[in-house]
A = this chain, B = another copy of it.
Amino acid sequence: MAKKRRPTMKDVAAHAGVSLSTVSYVVNDSGPVASDRRSRVLDAIRILNYTPNESARSLKRRSASTIGLILPELANQYFALVAEGIERAASDADVLVVLCVPQATGKSDDFYAQLLRSQRLDGVVYLSATGTLPSLILELSRSGAVVLVDEQMPGFELPAVVSDNRRGAREIAQHVIEAGHRQIALIGGPAPLWSADQRLAGYREALAAAGQDPDEVPFFGGDYRQRAGYEQAAKALEVAPADRPTALICANDLMAFGALEYCRASGIAVPSELSIVGFDDIPTASLVTPRLTTVRQPAHDLGFAAARLLFSLIDDEGEATPPMPFPTALMVRDSVAPPR
């Protein structure tokens, strides 16, 4: 039985009785071709069920029409949502998205730079949850187009798409303060991360505006993961009753969930005994009990915009201007009550 080879342009050309270039012209609409010959070619394509070999195209065009998406984990819905936004923008542009989850795969940092340099990827959208060493990102941005999402490398001005973390943080802290809380504790994100830094700054602004000394309010460092929320909540709450905070401001929803979990485990009623707020407004936030008061980030839009920015970077090759920070929105739900 004959090995069934996929048809190539040559086959199409032969079948249609035209030259190779004519076929190419009709496939790419890149040259003039008489309408009768065009339809002959189109027919041949249909009959042979021809599909261009993209490897050959990439080789010739020096571009893979593929981008990479590097993110810490998929299980965090915030990332999943950003990914969906990117997917949409990419598919609009007929670009493929390669998923890279360093944590799950244990790939070394420069593996991703290799990927970019090997021209399998035209660019990369990078999300960090750990404030990754600039070394990777730097090497990446040296090798090709990179855009960051909700992240920024202080020294080097890399293209990024961000939302207004500072303002969102300020507003939710204000909300907590307006509910009457004076004993507030903060559970922050990973120190080196820009978003963590911005959120913290926002909280402090609100605190200061309300006449509290931000340096006096207890701060606990987390890493955006649920476990950290649990552990830091424990630290924050296992203190003399008089010092015990009446409200816990968590730098993201996942950590707020962890705090909630701790409270459930140790019989602390939320929000009557303790108010808790988060950040991100992932879908689960309105599903937990009590429904979590948080700050909505337009995850989907961030992803979409990041991909667009990356594309313009890739083909304009010139600097494209990042969009303005995306607005955030305070989502008032049930996890905040006046202190008693």
Contacts and interface: CB of A to CB of B under 8 A. Distances in A.
A55 interface: yes
Contacts of A117: 6, 49, 51
A132 interface: no
Interface residues of A, number: 51
Given A75-B84, A84-B73, A6 B54 contact: no
Interface string A63-105: 0101001000111010011011001101110001111110011
Contacts of A107: 91
A56 B59 contact: yes
A99 B98 contact: yes
Number of copies: 2
A91 B84 CA distance: 21
A86 B192 CA distance: 30
Contacts of A66: 98, 120
Contacts of A114: 51
B77 A99 contact: no
Interface string A281-297: 00110011100000000
Contacts of A115: 96
A106 interface: yes
Contact of A120 (B74, B80, B83, B96): B96
Given A77-B77, A80-B80, A107-B91, A98 B101 contact: no
Contacts of A272: none
A55 B59 CA distance: 5
Interface in A30-69: 49, 51-56, 58-59, 64, 66, 69
Contacts of A283: 75
A52 B6 CA distance: 26
